[in-house]
């Protein structure tokens, strides 16, 4: 028998559950939602030399998720605004003609997000865990599934080729390397590990990331905390 008191308690629990689910669904279906990222830090206890020394391609990650501050810091190192006035915004990595062909995406267990450098925000592109699909698009590189964050660099070549012709394609690839190295070194500085991925099916990867036709995936970087045995190396 359920007593009157228990019935009242059940009623309140049900109300809380209904409202918390309602809140989640609103978040989950709101693809226009943007999330303001915490301001990046410009100080760390790890020197750039130490980051260069310690950087290795690591393909196993612990279960620990990254928080918004760590995700924001990595995206800032990739493409954050580092100098600005009313006429221009310059970013963390150099870019031919300051034309910035790269779009930067974050794939987390929660969904796919696009980085907006100017406002240091991420915009929801798709919700839900797409990491299995991404691993499958990358020829079954399954460590993508255990990475709490994969940053994908995708190029809109026309931003460069309109000015530089075919040479603009080379410039985009050079720039992807600059951006990627910033990410790898920032990861080390945060106590994280990363791995570059160039082997993936372009079309399948573009489909998973919901890329527009003019945007080509170039480079993916899974990032996470090292497994405990890795820490001891």
User: Of 29 and 57, which has the nearer Cβ to ligand FMN?
Assistant: 57
Strands 111-116 and 102-108: antiparallel
33 burial level (CB within 10 Å; 0-12, 13-18, 19+):
middle
The answer to whether 136 and 220 have CB atoms below 8 angstroms apart is no
Which residue, 124 or 219, is less far from ligand FMN as judged by CB?
219
Cβ–Cβ < 8 Å for 79, 104: yes
Q: Which CB atom, from 28 or from 145, has the smaller least distance to ligand FMN?
A: 145
Q: Which residue is nearest to ligand FMN (CB)?
A: 198
Per CB under 6 A, the list member of 183, 195, 218, 221 interacting with ligand FMN is 195
Specify whether the CB–CB gap between 153 and 176 falls below 8 A.
yes
* Region 14-73 residues binding ligand FMN, contact defined as CB under 6 A: 56-57, 59
Strand partners, 102: 155
> Applying CB under 6 A, which of residues 74, 197, 208, 221 lies at the interface with ligand FMN?
197
Q: Where are the beta strands (DSSP E) in the chain?
A: 34-36, 81-84, 89-91, 102-108, 111-116, 121-127, 149-155, 193-194, 216-224
- Residue count, binding to ligand FMN (CB under 6 A): 9
CA pair distance 193, 58, nearest whole angstrom: 6
Q: Which of residues 198-217 bind ligand FMN (CB under 6 A)?
A: 198-199
Residue closer to ligand FMN (CB basis): 127 or 201 = 201
Q: How far is the CB of 139 from ligand FMN (least distance, A)?
A: 8
Q: How far is CA 129 from CA 20, 30, 63, 108, 109, in A?
A: 20, 16, 15, 7, 5
**Contacting range for ligand FMN; rule: CB under 6 A; set: 28-36, 63-71, 100-108, 195-203:** 195-203
Work out which of 73, 79, 136, 141 binds ligand FMN, going by CB under 6 A: 141
Q: Which two tokens stand for residue 69?
A: 């501050």
Of the ranges 60-68, 80-88, 163-171, 191-199, which one interacts with ligand FMN (CB under 6 A)? 191-199
Nearer Cβ to ligand FMN (109/196): 196
- Which residues of this protein are in contact with ligand FMN, per CB under 6 A? 56-57, 59, 141, 195-199
């Amino acid at each position: 028998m359920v007593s009157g008191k228990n019935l009242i308690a059940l009623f309140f629990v049900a109300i809380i559950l209904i409202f918390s689910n309602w809140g989640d669904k609103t978040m989950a279906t709101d693809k226009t939602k943007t999330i303001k990222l915490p301001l990046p830090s410009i100080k760390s206890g790890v020197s750039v030399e130490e980051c260069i020394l310690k950087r290795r391609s690591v393909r196993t990650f612990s279960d620990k998720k990254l928080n918004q501050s760590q995700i924001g810091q990595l995206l800032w190192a990739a493409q954050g605004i580092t100098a600005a006035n009313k006429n221009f915004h310059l970013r963390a990595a150099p870019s031919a003609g300051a034309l910035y062909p790269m779009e930067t995406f974050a794939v987390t267990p929660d969904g796919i997000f696009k980085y907006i450098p100017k406002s240091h925000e991420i915009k929801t592109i798709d919700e839900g865990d797409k990491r299995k699909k991404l691993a499958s698009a990358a020829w079954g590189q399954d460590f993508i599934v255990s990475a709490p964050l994969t940053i994908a660099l995708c190029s809109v070549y026309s931003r460069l080729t309109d000015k530089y012709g075919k040479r603009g394609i080379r410039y985009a690839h050079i720039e992807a390397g600059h951006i990627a190295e910033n990410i790898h070194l920032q990861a080390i500085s945060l106590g994280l590990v990363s791995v570059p991925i160039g082997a993936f099916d372009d079309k399948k990867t573009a489909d998973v990331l919901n890329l527009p036709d003019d945007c080509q995936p170039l480079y993916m970087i899974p990032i996470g905390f090292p497994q405990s045995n890795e820490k001891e190396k």
